[in-house]
Amino acid sequence: MRPKTVTPAGIWGTGIYLPPRVLTNRDLEKMVDTSDEWILTRTGIRERRIAEEGQAASDLAVPAARQALAEAGVAAGELDLIIVATNSPDMLFPATACLVQHALGAVRAGAFDLQAGCTAFIYALACGAQFIATGTARWVLVIGTEVLSRLVNWQDRNTCVLFGDGAGAAVLGPVPEGYGILATRLGAEGAGAHLLSLPAGLSRHPASPETLAKGMHYIHMNGREVFKFAVKVMEEGFAEVLEAAGLSPEQVDFFIPHQANTRIIEAAAKRMNLPREKVWVNLDRYGNTSAATIPVALHEAVKAGRIKDGDRVALMAFGAGLTWGGMVLRWYDPRKENHIAREGEDGHYPHEAV
């Protein structure tokens, strides 16, 4: 049976984890034929975080998830579903989400991974929201986590300077009508799949001495063509998702773009008529953390007080596939007095408001 009503879904809490090791542009000058000026002027990146030896995607995901759960006031045992958005999982199978589920003790939760390039976190949010909307789940944990430093060729200056490691998480739950996710648009242009890929290691090109010799187990990217795609879909996707939400660009209070290149962000913001103070940029500190860029930036913006209860927040990303995704939310702060007046006896926030 279909539910009589659709339950709105919003974000109750966020969390992040960034490895402590910092790799600066000056460090890269000693490793590959590049320079701080070359990297900075072409990408906007000054430094990035690199996972410690032995750290995998799940190791970064778990502390981010714990922080998000604590901020949401939700126990791991209450989770109904865990979705991990990643392009650098611990292994092909089992799903990294299952490893996270075990580490958190989320024994009631289903768990699966979602792979959609750098757009994966928005895809995962949209997916998780559907479970809440239909009443299949109440609490969904969505995590974007990447250890891309394991997948880059550190001799290729065109790609190794771009990526970093990190994780961001969000707890989705039911929110009052008019709050939470207002609109989502997801898209793909599979004709451009070859422009950004990791070609070898699976069924198309199984691992062999030849694939290793050709460096086919590393990220391959046509930067110029991906740049052109990104600028186009950031503008067009933004317009499409705003129309679906019934909003004009002037009504957007804050914009969280995928952190891939400052030139892409600046070009997109200009075309969208968004002033710089409405756009969050942390690319200079973390580089491109792929599926983790949106949740990390979102968490930082909320903590900095740039996103407040009732604000209309737009998210936009693009990535391998080629994929793109946009989402508009009306931010929900569960601790705001007019939503919830007190904590429950068990220390969790009660849910009568929803």
Catalytic machinery residues:
118, 258, 288
Whether 311 contacts 256, CB under 8 Å: no
Type of residue numbered 252: V
CB atoms within 10 A of CB 257: 27
262-271 and 36-43 helices, crossing angle to 10° = 20
In the chain, the N- to C-terminal Cα span, in Å, equals 22
In sequence order, what are the beta bridge partners of 169? 15, 143
Place of tokens 């709105």: 8
Candidates 5, 74, 19, 10; CA nearest to 313 is: 10
CA gap 148, 163 in Å, rounded: 6
CA gap 210, 231 in Å, rounded: 36
Type of residue numbered 218: Y
CA gap 281, 172 in Å, rounded: 24
In sequence order, the 6+-apart residues with CB closer than 8 A to the CB of 30 are: none
Type of residue numbered 45: I
CA gap 332, 184 in Å, rounded: 17
3-state secondary structure 311-338: CEEEEEEEECCCEEEEEEEECCCCCCCC
Q: What is the DSSP string of 182-213?
A: EEEEEEE-GGGGGGEE--SSSSSS---HHHHH
Distance of CA 5 to the CA centre of its chain: 29
CA gap 330, 178 in Å, rounded: 7
